[in-house]
Amino acid sequence: MQIEGTGVFKGPMDCFLKTVRNEGFLGLYKGMASPLVGIAAVNSLLFWAYSLGKALQTGSASAIPTLGQVAVAGAGAGAVNSVLASPVELLKVRLQVQYTSATSTAGRTAFRGPAPLARHLVRRFGARGIMWGFWATVAREIPAYTAFYTGFEFAKRAFARRLTGGDADRLGPLPLMASGSVGGVSYWVASYPLDVIKSRVQNGVAPPKGIGYIAATARAIAAEQGLWGFFRGFSPSVLRSIPAAGVTFASYELVMRALNSGGQGRQQ
Protein backbone atom coordinates (compact mmCIF):
# COMPACT_ATOMS: atom_id res chain seq x y z
CA MET A 1 0.00 0.00 0.00
CA GLN A 2 2.89 2.38 0.71
CA ILE A 3 4.24 2.10 -2.84
CA GLU A 4 1.27 1.51 -5.12
CA GLY A 5 -0.08 5.02 -4.72
CA THR A 6 -3.66 5.98 -5.39
CA GLY A 7 -6.06 3.99 -7.51
CA VAL A 8 -4.73 0.48 -6.88
CA PHE A 9 -6.00 -0.31 -3.38
CA LYS A 10 -8.73 1.55 -1.53
CA GLY A 11 -7.52 0.42 1.89
CA PRO A 12 -6.06 -2.50 3.88
CA MET A 13 -9.08 -4.77 3.38
CA ASP A 14 -9.23 -4.04 -0.35
CA CYS A 15 -5.52 -4.83 -0.59
CA PHE A 16 -6.07 -8.10 1.30
CA LEU A 17 -9.00 -9.21 -0.86
CA LYS A 18 -7.40 -8.30 -4.19
CA THR A 19 -4.14 -10.01 -3.29
CA VAL A 20 -5.90 -13.23 -2.26
CA ARG A 21 -8.16 -13.15 -5.32
CA ASN A 22 -5.34 -12.56 -7.81
CA GLU A 23 -2.44 -14.44 -6.20
CA GLY A 24 -3.96 -16.81 -3.68
CA PHE A 25 -3.42 -16.89 0.07
CA LEU A 26 0.35 -17.30 -0.31
CA GLY A 27 0.45 -13.92 -2.03
CA LEU A 28 0.07 -12.39 1.43
CA TYR A 29 3.51 -13.78 2.30
CA LYS A 30 5.47 -12.40 -0.64
CA GLY A 31 8.83 -11.02 0.43
CA MET A 32 8.72 -12.99 3.68
CA ALA A 33 11.85 -15.02 2.91
CA SER A 34 14.15 -12.00 3.08
CA PRO A 35 13.22 -10.86 6.63
CA LEU A 36 12.81 -14.48 7.72
CA VAL A 37 16.41 -15.26 6.76
CA GLY A 38 17.81 -11.93 7.90
CA ILE A 39 15.84 -11.32 11.11
CA ALA A 40 18.20 -13.25 13.39
CA ALA A 41 21.25 -11.36 12.14
CA VAL A 42 19.44 -8.01 12.17
CA ASN A 43 18.09 -8.42 15.71
CA SER A 44 21.41 -9.75 17.00
CA LEU A 45 23.26 -6.72 15.62
CA LEU A 46 20.54 -4.36 16.82
CA PHE A 47 20.43 -5.55 20.44
CA TRP A 48 24.23 -5.87 20.60
CA ALA A 49 24.65 -2.27 19.42
CA TYR A 50 21.96 -1.10 21.85
CA SER A 51 23.61 -2.87 24.81
CA LEU A 52 27.00 -1.46 23.82
CA GLY A 53 25.55 2.03 23.53
CA LYS A 54 24.11 1.84 27.03
CA ALA A 55 27.33 0.45 28.52
CA LEU A 56 29.46 3.16 26.89
CA GLN A 57 27.29 5.85 28.46
CA THR A 58 26.88 4.35 31.94
CA GLY A 59 30.32 2.76 32.26
CA SER A 60 28.82 -0.63 33.14
CA ALA A 61 26.71 -3.23 31.38
CA SER A 62 24.67 -3.72 34.57
CA ALA A 63 23.98 -0.03 35.32
CA ILE A 64 20.46 1.28 34.76
CA PRO A 65 20.54 4.04 32.11
CA THR A 66 18.38 7.14 32.13
CA LEU A 67 15.71 7.41 29.46
CA GLY A 68 17.91 9.96 27.71
CA GLN A 69 20.74 7.44 27.58
CA VAL A 70 18.31 4.82 26.31
CA ALA A 71 17.31 7.17 23.50
CA VAL A 72 20.93 7.81 22.51
CA ALA A 73 21.72 4.08 22.59
CA GLY A 74 18.63 3.36 20.49
CA ALA A 75 19.62 5.98 17.91
CA GLY A 76 23.11 4.51 17.66
CA ALA A 77 21.75 0.98 17.37
CA GLY A 78 19.46 2.07 14.56
CA ALA A 79 22.34 3.63 12.64
CA VAL A 80 24.51 0.50 13.03
CA ASN A 81 21.60 -1.78 12.20
CA SER A 82 21.09 -0.06 8.85
CA VAL A 83 24.06 -1.97 7.44
CA LEU A 84 22.04 -5.20 7.55
CA ALA A 85 18.52 -3.78 7.54
CA SER A 86 18.98 -1.93 4.25
CA PRO A 87 19.56 -4.98 2.00
CA VAL A 88 16.98 -7.06 3.88
CA GLU A 89 14.36 -4.32 3.44
CA LEU A 90 15.33 -3.79 -0.20
CA LEU A 91 14.75 -7.42 -1.12
CA LYS A 92 11.49 -7.54 0.84
CA VAL A 93 10.11 -4.39 -0.78
CA ARG A 94 10.96 -5.39 -4.33
CA LEU A 95 9.54 -8.90 -3.92
CA GLN A 96 6.33 -7.62 -2.35
CA VAL A 97 5.48 -5.35 -5.29
CA GLN A 98 5.58 -8.25 -7.77
CA TYR A 99 1.80 -8.01 -8.01
CA THR A 100 0.09 -9.91 -10.82
CA SER A 101 -1.47 -6.69 -12.04
CA ALA A 102 0.52 -4.78 -14.65
CA THR A 103 0.33 -1.69 -12.45
CA SER A 104 3.50 -2.49 -10.54
CA THR A 105 5.50 -5.04 -12.52
CA ALA A 106 5.38 -3.76 -16.09
CA GLY A 107 8.83 -4.07 -17.63
CA ARG A 108 10.31 -5.73 -14.55
CA THR A 109 11.55 -9.31 -14.24
CA ALA A 110 9.73 -11.39 -11.61
CA PHE A 111 11.96 -13.20 -9.11
CA ARG A 112 11.10 -16.31 -7.11
CA GLY A 113 13.00 -15.32 -3.98
CA PRO A 114 15.59 -13.02 -2.39
CA ALA A 115 18.68 -14.87 -3.66
CA PRO A 116 17.91 -14.54 -7.41
CA LEU A 117 16.89 -10.92 -6.88
CA ALA A 118 20.09 -10.13 -4.95
CA ARG A 119 22.24 -11.69 -7.67
CA HIS A 120 20.41 -9.69 -10.33
CA LEU A 121 20.88 -6.40 -8.47
CA VAL A 122 24.59 -6.99 -7.91
CA ARG A 123 25.16 -8.01 -11.54
CA ARG A 124 23.33 -4.97 -12.84
CA PHE A 125 24.37 -2.25 -10.39
CA GLY A 126 27.34 -3.64 -8.48
CA ALA A 127 27.59 -3.15 -4.70
CA ARG A 128 25.25 -0.15 -4.95
CA GLY A 129 22.53 -2.52 -6.08
CA ILE A 130 22.34 -4.41 -2.79
CA MET A 131 22.70 -1.25 -0.65
CA TRP A 132 20.01 0.57 -2.63
CA GLY A 133 18.36 3.17 -0.38
CA PHE A 134 20.93 2.84 2.42
CA TRP A 135 20.74 6.47 3.53
CA ALA A 136 16.94 6.38 3.46
CA THR A 137 17.15 3.34 5.74
CA VAL A 138 19.51 5.19 8.10
CA ALA A 139 17.09 8.14 8.17
CA ARG A 140 14.29 5.78 9.19
CA GLU A 141 16.21 3.57 11.63
CA ILE A 142 17.57 6.35 13.85
CA PRO A 143 14.21 7.85 14.96
CA ALA A 144 12.54 4.44 14.80
CA TYR A 145 14.83 2.77 17.32
CA THR A 146 15.15 5.88 19.45
CA ALA A 147 11.39 5.62 19.97
CA PHE A 148 11.38 1.79 20.04
CA TYR A 149 13.69 1.42 23.01
CA THR A 150 12.59 4.59 24.82
CA GLY A 151 8.93 3.62 24.57
CA PHE A 152 9.68 0.14 25.88
CA GLU A 153 11.80 1.35 28.80
CA PHE A 154 9.30 4.06 29.74
CA ALA A 155 6.43 1.56 29.84
CA LYS A 156 8.50 -1.12 31.60
CA ARG A 157 9.52 1.27 34.37
CA ALA A 158 5.93 2.48 34.75
CA PHE A 159 4.74 -1.12 35.14
CA ALA A 160 7.54 -1.82 37.61
CA ARG A 161 6.60 1.15 39.80
CA ARG A 162 2.99 0.00 39.88
CA LEU A 163 3.47 -3.78 40.16
CA THR A 164 6.83 -4.60 41.75
CA GLY A 165 7.89 -1.60 43.78
CA GLY A 166 10.17 -0.38 41.00
CA ASP A 167 12.03 -3.66 40.43
CA ALA A 168 11.79 -4.25 36.67
CA ASP A 169 13.59 -7.60 36.98
CA ARG A 170 10.53 -9.01 38.75
CA LEU A 171 8.08 -8.17 35.97
CA GLY A 172 6.36 -11.16 34.39
CA PRO A 173 5.84 -11.92 30.69
CA LEU A 174 2.56 -10.02 30.31
CA PRO A 175 3.78 -6.59 31.48
CA LEU A 176 6.96 -7.11 29.46
CA MET A 177 4.89 -7.90 26.38
CA ALA A 178 2.70 -4.85 27.00
CA SER A 179 5.81 -2.70 27.35
CA GLY A 180 7.20 -4.14 24.13
CA SER A 181 3.96 -3.30 22.36
CA VAL A 182 4.34 0.32 23.47
CA GLY A 183 7.81 0.26 21.96
CA GLY A 184 6.46 -1.20 18.72
CA VAL A 185 3.76 1.45 18.35
CA SER A 186 6.29 4.17 19.21
CA TYR A 187 8.56 2.84 16.46
CA TRP A 188 5.99 3.43 13.75
CA VAL A 189 4.66 6.72 15.11
CA ALA A 190 8.21 8.12 15.03
CA SER A 191 9.26 6.77 11.65
CA TYR A 192 6.35 5.85 9.39
CA PRO A 193 6.64 8.73 6.88
CA LEU A 194 10.35 7.95 6.57
CA ASP A 195 9.50 4.29 5.98
CA VAL A 196 7.19 5.29 3.13
CA ILE A 197 10.01 7.34 1.60
CA LYS A 198 12.46 4.45 2.00
CA SER A 199 10.08 1.98 0.36
CA ARG A 200 9.44 4.33 -2.57
CA VAL A 201 13.19 4.79 -3.06
CA GLN A 202 13.90 1.06 -2.92
CA ASN A 203 11.24 0.37 -5.52
CA GLY A 204 12.78 2.81 -8.00
CA VAL A 205 14.35 2.04 -11.37
CA ALA A 206 17.98 2.54 -10.30
CA PRO A 207 19.93 3.10 -7.06
CA PRO A 208 20.08 6.84 -6.27
CA LYS A 209 23.32 8.67 -5.54
CA GLY A 210 24.09 10.92 -2.57
CA ILE A 211 21.48 11.69 0.08
CA GLY A 212 19.45 14.42 -1.62
CA TYR A 213 17.10 11.79 -3.01
CA ILE A 214 15.41 11.51 0.40
CA ALA A 215 14.06 15.07 0.25
CA ALA A 216 13.29 14.74 -3.47
CA THR A 217 11.24 11.59 -2.84
CA ALA A 218 9.38 13.29 0.01
CA ARG A 219 8.47 16.19 -2.28
CA ALA A 220 7.27 13.77 -4.97
CA ILE A 221 5.02 11.90 -2.52
CA ALA A 222 3.57 15.16 -1.19
CA ALA A 223 2.91 16.44 -4.72
CA GLU A 224 1.21 13.21 -5.82
CA GLN A 225 -0.78 12.25 -2.73
CA GLY A 226 -0.58 15.09 -0.21
CA LEU A 227 0.07 14.50 3.48
CA TRP A 228 -1.98 11.28 3.38
CA GLY A 229 0.64 9.75 1.11
CA PHE A 230 3.07 9.54 4.03
CA PHE A 231 0.63 7.45 6.09
CA ARG A 232 -0.76 4.93 3.59
CA GLY A 233 -0.73 1.52 5.28
CA PHE A 234 -0.06 2.99 8.72
CA SER A 235 -2.81 1.08 10.54
CA PRO A 236 -1.74 -2.45 9.46
CA SER A 237 1.88 -1.68 10.37
CA VAL A 238 0.95 -0.48 13.85
CA LEU A 239 -1.41 -3.41 14.48
CA ARG A 240 1.25 -5.88 13.35
CA SER A 241 3.85 -4.29 15.63
CA ILE A 242 1.80 -4.81 18.80
CA PRO A 243 2.25 -8.60 19.05
CA ALA A 244 5.58 -8.64 17.19
CA ALA A 245 7.35 -6.12 19.40
CA GLY A 246 5.66 -7.50 22.51
CA VAL A 247 7.05 -10.98 21.88
CA THR A 248 10.47 -9.65 20.83
CA PHE A 249 11.03 -7.59 23.96
CA ALA A 250 9.57 -10.13 26.37
CA SER A 251 11.75 -12.87 24.88
CA TYR A 252 14.86 -10.70 25.04
CA GLU A 253 14.28 -9.62 28.63
CA LEU A 254 13.49 -13.12 29.88
CA VAL A 255 16.44 -14.71 28.07
CA MET A 256 18.85 -12.06 29.37
CA ARG A 257 17.43 -12.50 32.86
CA ALA A 258 18.02 -16.27 32.67
CA LEU A 259 21.55 -15.83 31.32
CA ASN A 260 22.46 -13.32 34.00
CA SER A 261 21.09 -15.50 36.81
CA GLY A 262 22.95 -18.50 35.38
CA GLY A 263 26.21 -16.57 35.31
CA GLN A 264 25.76 -15.42 38.90
CA GLY A 265 25.03 -19.01 39.97
CA ARG A 266 28.29 -20.27 38.46
CA GLN A 267 30.27 -17.52 40.18
CA GLN A 268 28.83 -18.55 43.55
> Of 130, 107, 100, which is closest to residue 34 (Cα–Cα)?
130
Least confident of 94-98, 103-107, 215-219: 103-107
Mean pLDDT value of segment 155-170: 97
Report whether pLDDT(20) > 70: no
Distance CA 250, CA 268 (A): 27
CB 108 within 8 A of CB 183: no
Burial class (CB in 10 A: 0-12, 13-18, 19+), 54: buried
Residue 75 has φ and ψ, to the nearest 5°, of -60, -45
Mean pLDDT value of segment 248-263: 88
Q: What is the mean pLDDT of the chain?
A: 87
The confidence score (pLDDT) of residue 9 equals: 52
pTM here? 0.84
Cα 15 to chain center, whole Å?
A: 21
Distance CA 207, CA 205 (A): 7
3-state helix, strand, coil in the chain (%, to 5): 80, 0, 20
Structural domains of the chain in order of their starting residue, each with its CATH number:
12-267 (1.50.40.10)
Helices 114-125, 67-96: axis angle to 10 degrees equals: 90
Report whether pLDDT(222) > 60: yes
Q: Mind listing the pLDDT tens digit for each residue in 179-217?
A: 999 999 999 999 999 999 999 999 999 999 999 999 999
The confidence score (pLDDT) of residue 90 equals: 96
Residue 84: CB partners within 8 Å, gap ≥ 6?
38, 41, 42, 45
Q: Mind listing the pLDDT tens digit for each residue in 237-251?
A: 999 999 999 999 999
Angle at 229 between CA 206 and CA 133, to 5 degrees: 25
Report whether pLDDT(30) > 90: no
